[in-house]
Structure 1
Amino acid sequence: MKTPEGNPKDHSIAEFENSLTGTCLCGSIRVTIHDRDLFTRRRGHLCHCSNCRKVAGSFVAANLIIEEEKVTIEDTKGTLKTYNDHDTLSGNPVFRSFCSIDGNPIKSETPLSPGKVILKMGIFPRIPEPEMEGFALHAHPWETRLEGTIKYKLARGGEKLEE
């Protein structure tokens, strides 16, 4: 019988001092973040918008917006495919990339964030503590509120939600 894997507490932050690598479920796509400051402060964001929830297959999506030059993506079997999502609140497309074998979301890109990539953090063994939440008004009433995050009513960078 296989033993359970994936406990983030099994990985010390020191293990990722120079880089953090994750893979899709089948292993054909490998993503590496090269950022020495990844765990030195809160990073990333949770998104409660319906599109991100659908892509994540969950009640919230864990994302990290980071400069493209800090990310290496290896697509060893040519399985990385992109869905052009035009049904967005801003009217700007979001290009959502995923593994075509296992369906694992990998990244998103949008003209609203030039030079940046939005990584889907579920593929990594450990993730930094989130600094913000987008579409906080769309969080389910039963969700536990994460203390210390900046909560935007809708899109990140917009009007903040007062708690």
Structure 2
Amino acid sequence: MTQGPTRLDVAVGYAVPRKGLPSAVSFRKWTAAALAGRIREADLAIRVVGSKEGRALNRHYRGKDYATNVLSFPAELPEGLPEGVKLPLLGDLVICAPVVAREAREQGKPLNAHYAHLTVHGVLHLLGWDHDDEREAEAMEQLERGILAGLGIADPYLDPGEP
């Protein structure tokens, strides 16, 4: 397995009750797996939110009036960083707990596996990966499959009914 970052600072905040949600340790493990072999140092924040906050953020930043599963906010660093700000500051992820739970149920996936997938997906967005066209989407999905397989998590793009 490829070694993870040598310095990883992941702040995890919960704006919803934590019962049934992954621990901060899990989010850090999934983040480290996504960054392994790609970046040596990283600072980022993950905030787990409810539908109201998820919808407000998606509406404000993407113009879409619904809560989505994960939002990625890559850091846009100005010239002359304030004292104490460490690089590389990757950015923030916002994960909407009710949307993740609903999708996991509808797709027949274990909840933690879906959180792992969305964390990896969001971290890859922070690194500049995207899925704007079919070629980019396939490359990003292949990368996600590999990272998740390394964590012992099944291919998130397979239909649960498929072998």
Question: TM-score scaled to structure 2, two decimals?
Answer: 0.26
The answer to which structure has the higher helix fraction is 2
